[in-house]
Amino acid sequence: MAYQNSIKSIAIGSFDGMHIAHQTLADKVDALVIIERNGGYLTPGYERANFTSKVCCFYHFDVIKGLSPKAFVQRLKTDFPQLEKIVVGYDFAFGKDKAGSARTLQKLFEGKVEIVEEVSVEGIAVHSRTIKAYLREGNIVMANKLLGRAYQIEGEVVSGQGLGKKELVPTLNLNVKAYQLPLEGVYATRTKVKGEWLDSVSFLGHRVTTDDSFAVETHIIEQELGQITGKVEMLFVDFIRSNQKFDSLEALKEQINIDITQAKEVLT
């Protein structure tokens, strides 16, 4: 596909998470060439376009992985006939078996190639893999600092156990696919329902007190929502506690009330 338009500069990368280092690259160009892979995403697929004002052009990795560095550069020149400048990160690798580096790109492309050096926050290098590691630890605060925003997921509202409304607190149960999920536990969150961001406390993990099934569920604090269908977005603000098993539903409900109080303090 040839982008017969005014695009003269591009940045290339996976841009998973659209974190602050990615934004540094994006600020320098007209468009992003996003290498699309499968699974474990901070920002799955086209979600990345929601976090930039720049044109996003997607190349699926399986389609381009067999190209030599030279053939890949030729593909760029064909798709972007007005291309004058390419921006990449210092650790950029491309071509079959990652044979090409940022320096290789400088040799193969006749125009300008700008290499952006490592971006750090509080001495921590900003990489998607580092953010994922923080999420797996439940360290939402550091993950959010490297992202430059609150970590966000989206899910389809599905029917749950039915225990929440009857025995505990009402929740929206979400079917979440493709996203990198944080450590199992309870979080202070904000949930977008019908276009409005509402304070919430959310659980993700195995329901070890009841049927041990995996769930992502969110309770909207001090709001009666009624029947909700469709997709819901959720922002993670802070970690409250890890997943744990309780001896009874009464004990679980008591802890949930404590969780709600803590979430309100965080979100105030």
Q: What is the 8-class DSSP label of residue 46?
A: G
* Residues 150-180: tens digit of each pLDDT: 999 999 999 865 555 556 889 999 999 889 9
SS3 assignment, position 200:
strand
* Residues 22-66: tens digit of each pLDDT: 999 999 999 999 999 876 699 998 999 999 999 999 999 999 999
pTM: 0.92
What residue has token string 């590691």? 133
* Residues 53-103: tens digit of each pLDDT: 999 999 999 999 999 999 999 999 999 999 999 999 999 999 999 999 999
Residue type, 11: A
* Residues 110-145: tens digit of each pLDDT: 999 999 999 999 999 999 999 999 999 999 999 999
Residues 6+ apart with CB under 8 A from 206: 184, 212, 213, 214, 215, 243
Bridge partners (DSSP) of residue 2 are none
Q: How far apart are CA 237 and CA 221, in angstroms?
A: 14
Q: What is the 8-class DSSP label of residue 179?
A: B
Q: Domains (ranges, CATH) in the chain?
A: 9-125 (3.40.50.620), 150-267 (2.40.30.30)
Cα-only R_g, the chain:
22
Residue type, 214: F
